[in-house]
């Protein structure tokens, strides 16, 4: 039977080991200089699945553009997607915008103080709710992200697979048991910081770790092996042609449908080489003649490994209208890079339109 939660003795020991380290080692990050729940929330939304270094600049620019939750709620979603451009996972930006509107409509723009109340808002999950409530309001709420899961799996020596439901369940139970009633926000950040700086995925720096004396995986010599690797899904190879169609200083782009994969983002006319492709189905309203190949690059979307070639092309005949699944637009060449683009479209702009 795996230990689920730490005893009171080890709980106090962990606090005594980790918190002093955090007070000295913590990185000075812009969102750590505030307890404004709006700012904490924006940083947490950006930090999910994105590196800290990539977030810093975006965070400050985003807050200049949308300094309050009211300003974010009042903005058109296109402006929010544009400001998010470069951070990827645009679903987060759309959810952020919807949540801002709900916060203003239902709470007058005032953030609820507990994780349970925050979680009742659409678009805020348990991690973000715990982060905002504990960091901004000092509530005794826990949080679990990938860093916390890894740190706890090692401290407790759980031989569980990364991403498994059991690891998630145990991590939440343990994180809740560990969260102090006074300033859980500091504790939560200390756990995440340990995971980011010391208890790293591949090569944990156990010899420099402030909690090694209490770490069970370290004592057993299997720190780097935990959490266990999860079985990898098979990858799917996809070959695409992205067409650069220009006319009088403008380029042809397609805005994807407002729901589904990469919703509302702009992309270049795309053809999947394999007939009957499901990711980019054939578009009967668009007939193109290819001229020359301009570039070639690789791209990954979830399990799809994409080989994309960029081809200069001409329209043959009239451009037909699309149905509900997107819309064509001619955009000034110089403006294309400012739109909310798919990751592949950004690569085309960088390679062929600069």
Radius of gyration, alpha carbons of the chain: 24
Which one, 217 or 349, has the nearer CB to ligand SF4?
217
CA distance 184 to 283: 53
Binding mask 96-135 for ligand SF4 (x = CB under 6 A): ----------------------------------------
Active-site choice (44, 149, 193, 267): 44
- What is the closest distance, in whole angstroms, from the C-beta atom of residue 204 to ligand SF4 in the complex? 4
Place of tokens 């005594």: 16
Q: Is the peptide bond prior to 205 cis by the omega test (within 30 degrees of 0)?
A: no
Q: Spell out where 71-148 has E strands.
A: none
Which one, 131 or 198, has the nearer CB to ligand SF4?
198
| CA dihedral sign, ordered 228, 234, 237, 242 | negative
Which one, 143 or 206, has the nearer CB to ligand SF4?
206
Under 8 Å CB-to-CB from 89, ≥6 apart: which residues?
Answer: 48, 49, 50
Q: How many CA atoms lie within 13 A of 171 on its CB side?
A: 28
- What is the closest distance, in whole angstroms, from the C-beta atom of residue 213 to ligand SF4 in the complex? 8
154 touching ligand SF4, by CB under 6 A:
yes
Binding ligand SF4 (rule: CB under 6 A), the pick from 151, 179, 265, 340 is: 151
212 touching ligand SF4, by CB under 6 A:
yes
Q: Which stretch binds ligand SF4 (CB under 6 A): 113-121, 127-135, 216-224, 272-280?
A: 216-224
92 touching ligand SF4, by CB under 6 A:
no
CA distance 172 to 55: 26
199 touching ligand SF4, by CB under 6 A:
yes
Is 82 among the catalytic positions?
no
187 touching ligand SF4, by CB under 6 A:
no
209 touching ligand SF4, by CB under 6 A:
yes
Which one, 46 or 217, has the nearer CB to ligand SF4?
217
218 touching ligand SF4, by CB under 6 A:
yes
- What is the closest distance, in whole angstroms, from the C-beta atom of residue 78 to ligand SF4 in the complex? 43
Cα angle at 332 between 331 and 334, to 5 degrees?
125
- What is the closest distance, in whole angstroms, from the C-beta atom of residue 10 to ligand SF4 in the complex? 13
Which one, 210 or 326, has the nearer CB to ligand SF4?
210
Q: Which stretch binds ligand SF4 (CB under 6 A): 208-216, 231-239, 317-325, 326-334?
A: 208-216
Query: 259-289 burial, b if ≥16 CB within 10 A, otherwise e?
Result: eeebbbbbbbbbbbeeeeeeebeebeebebe
Binding ligand SF4 (rule: CB under 6 A), the pick from 6, 204, 269, 326 is: 204
215 touching ligand SF4, by CB under 6 A:
yes
190 touching ligand SF4, by CB under 6 A:
no
CA distance 341 to 268: 9
Binding ligand SF4 (rule: CB under 6 A), the pick from 42, 93, 184, 211 is: 211
Under 8 Å CB-to-CB from 49, ≥6 apart: which residues?
Answer: 88, 89
Biggest alpha carbon–alpha carbon distance for the chain: 77
Q: Which two tokens stand for residue 86?
A: 């470069």
Which one, 13 or 272, has the nearer CB to ligand SF4?
13
CA distance 248 to 218: 64
3-state secondary structure 9-68: HHHHHHHHHHHHHHHHHCCCCHHHHCCCHHHHHHHHHHHCCCCHHHHHHHHHHHHHHCCC
- What is the closest distance, in whole angstroms, from the C-beta atom of residue 223 to ligand SF4 in the complex? 3
Nearest alpha carbon to residue 69 among 44, 40, 117, 101: 101
Does residue 148 sit in helix, strand or coil?
Answer: helix
* Positions that interact with ligand SF4 (CB under 6 A): 151, 154-155, 198-199, 204-206, 209, 211-212, 215, 217-218, 223
Give the active site residues.
44
């Amino acid at each position: 039977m795996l230990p689920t939660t730490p005893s009171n003795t080890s709980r106090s020991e962990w606090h005594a080991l980790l918190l002093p380290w955090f007070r000295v080692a913590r990185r000075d990050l812009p969102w750590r200089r505030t307890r404004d729940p709006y700012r904490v929330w924006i940083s947490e939304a950006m930090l999910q699945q994105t590196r800290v270094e990539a977030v810093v600049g975006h965070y400050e620019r985003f807050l200049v553009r949308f300094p309050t939750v009211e300003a974010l709620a009042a903005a058109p979603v296109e402006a929010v997607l544009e400001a998010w451009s470069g951070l990827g996972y645009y679903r987060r930006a759309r959810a952020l915008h919807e949540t801002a509107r709900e916060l203003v409509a239902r709470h007058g723009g005032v953030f609820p103080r507990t994780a349970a109340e925050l979680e009742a808002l659409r678009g805020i999950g348990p991690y973000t709710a715990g982060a905002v409530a504990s960091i901004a309001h000092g509530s005794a709420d826990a949080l679990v992200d990938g860093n916390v899961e890894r740190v706890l799996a090692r401290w407790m020596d759980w031989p569980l697979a990364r991403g498994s439901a059991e690891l998630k369940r145990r991590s939440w139970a343990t994180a809740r048991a560990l969260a102090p009633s006074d300033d859980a926000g500091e504790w939560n950040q200390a756990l995440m910081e340990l995971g980011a700086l010391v208890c790293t995925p591949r090569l944990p720096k156990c010899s420099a770790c402030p909690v090694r004396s209490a770490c069970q995986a370290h004592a057993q010599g299997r720190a780097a092996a935990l959490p266990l690797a999860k079985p990898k899904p098979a990858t799917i190879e996809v070959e695409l042609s992205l067409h650069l169609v220009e006319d009088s200083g403008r380029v042809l782009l397609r805005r994807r449908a407002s729901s589904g994969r990469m919703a509302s983002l702009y992309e270049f006319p795309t053809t999947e080489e394999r007939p009957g492709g499901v990711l980019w189905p054939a578009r009967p309203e668009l007939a193109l003649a290819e001229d020359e190949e301009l570039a070639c690059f690789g791209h990954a979307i979830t399990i799809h490994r994409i080989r994309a070639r960029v081809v200069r092309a001409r329209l043959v005949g009239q451009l037909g209208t699309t149905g509900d699944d997107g819309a064509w637009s001619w955009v000034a060449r110089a403006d294309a890079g400012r739109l909310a683009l798919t990751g592949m479209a950004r690569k085309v702009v960088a390679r062929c339109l600069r």
